[in-house]
């Protein structure tokens, strides 16, 4: 069975969990992390899951980061590469219409999410949830919220043109943006108006594969 090292609260592990669910692939989740454990973040005095610092894990993933997969002896790290691999191997039709340009467009949205949306939202989660109160900095939070909303405007404009990120059908490009928007909705009860994102999100949350691992707020805004 496919093995996945990671944790439910990791947004990059979440991308892989959602993709696995879309593909209908069974797997074993091996909890692993240097910074979080069952009780929450180490910054709050909790014990991490560990594993990532062992020589065995470093031989699989020299970064000591999560997620990593082992699919019948094929080991892969980098969350977006894992999702592309899973889509190509298990669900090309369902996850990009088995079409080169849809694949390229979906990959572009993965890169955009990783480079533009993830860094400010990481700061938002640290400032809102994970850091002890005395370590939080209101100006870091304000800058992160502004940067995130500015970049989300690009998603809003895309969704004014197409029903989903890479065209008229769901693709793996919707997965990282979906994780990001879900966290944003959970973190920000009062949000700027992005009607196309709201319409798209209302469909995304109905997907059984999203419901399976990604919907639970505990995996996003606790710890």
Ligand X SMILES: N[C@@H](CCC(=O)N[C@@H](CS)C(=O)NCC(=O)O)C(=O)O
Q: How many CB atoms lie within 10 A of CB 195?
A: 10
CA distance 201 to 193: 13
The one among 5, 10, 172, 174 contacting ligand X by CB under 6 A: 10
* Shorter beta-carbon distance to ligand X: residue 102 or 110: 110
Least Cβ distance, residue 114 to ligand X (angstroms): 6
CB contact burial 2-25 (16+ within 10 A = b; e otherwise): bebbbbbbbbbbbbbbbbbbbbeb
* Shorter beta-carbon distance to ligand X: residue 145 or 183: 183
If 0-12 CB within 10 Å is exposed, 13-18 middle and 19+ buried, where does residue 194 land? Answer: buried
Q: By CB under 6 A, which span of 7-15, 93-101, 105-113, 140-148 interacts with ligand X?
A: 7-15
Altogether, the residues listed in the chain come to a count of 223
Least Cβ distance, residue 196 to ligand X (angstroms): 27
* CA distance readout (Å), 206 to 116, 155, 209, 212, 215: 26, 20, 9, 11, 10
The one among 23, 36, 165, 181 contacting ligand X by CB under 6 A: 36
Q: By CB under 6 A, which span of 6-14, 124-132, 141-149, 159-167 interacts with ligand X?
A: 6-14
**x/- string (CB under 6 A) for ligand X, residues 192-221?**
------------------------------
* CA distance readout (Å), 29 to 33, 95, 119: 12, 22, 25
Verify binding: residue 12, ligand X, rule CB under 6 A. yes
If 0-12 CB within 10 Å is exposed, 13-18 middle and 19+ buried, where does residue 94 land? Answer: middle
Verify binding: residue 35, ligand X, rule CB under 6 A. yes
Least Cβ distance, residue 43 to ligand X (angstroms): 12
Strands 27-31, 2-6: parallel, antiparallel or unpaired by DSSP? parallel
Verify binding: residue 11, ligand X, rule CB under 6 A. yes
**x/- string (CB under 6 A) for ligand X, residues 64-103?**
-xxx----------xx------------------------
* Interface residues toward ligand X, by CB under 6 A: 10-12, 33-36, 52, 65-67, 78-79
């Amino acid at each position: 069975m496919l093995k996945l090292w990671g944790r439910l609260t990791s947004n990059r592990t979440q991308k892989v969990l959602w993709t696995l669910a879309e593909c209908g692939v069974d797997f074993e989740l091996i909890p692993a992390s240097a910074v979080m454990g069952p009780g929450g973040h180490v910054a709050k005095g909790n014990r991490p899951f560990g594993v990532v610092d062992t020589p065995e894990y470093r031989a699989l993933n020299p970064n000591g980061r999560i997620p990593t997969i082992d699919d019948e002896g094929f080991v892969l790290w980098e969350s977006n590469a894992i999702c592309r691999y899973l889509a190509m191997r298990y669900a090309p039709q369902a996850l990009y219409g088995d079409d080169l340009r849809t694949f390229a467009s979906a990959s572009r949205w993965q890169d955009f999410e990783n480079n533009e949306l993830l860094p400010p939202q990481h700061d938002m989660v640290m400032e809102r949830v994970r850091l002890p109160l005395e370590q939080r900095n209101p100006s870091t939070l304000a800058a992160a919220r502004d940067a995130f909303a500015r970049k989300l405007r690009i998603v809003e404009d895309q969704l004014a043109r197409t029903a989903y990120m890479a065209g008229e059908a769901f693709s793996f490009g919707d997965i990282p943006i979906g994780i990001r928007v879900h966290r944003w909705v959970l973190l920000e009860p009062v949000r700027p108006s992005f009607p196309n994102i709201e319409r798209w999100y209302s469909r995304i949350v109905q997907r059984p594969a999203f419901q399976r691992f990604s919907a639970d707020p505990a995996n996003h805004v606790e710890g």
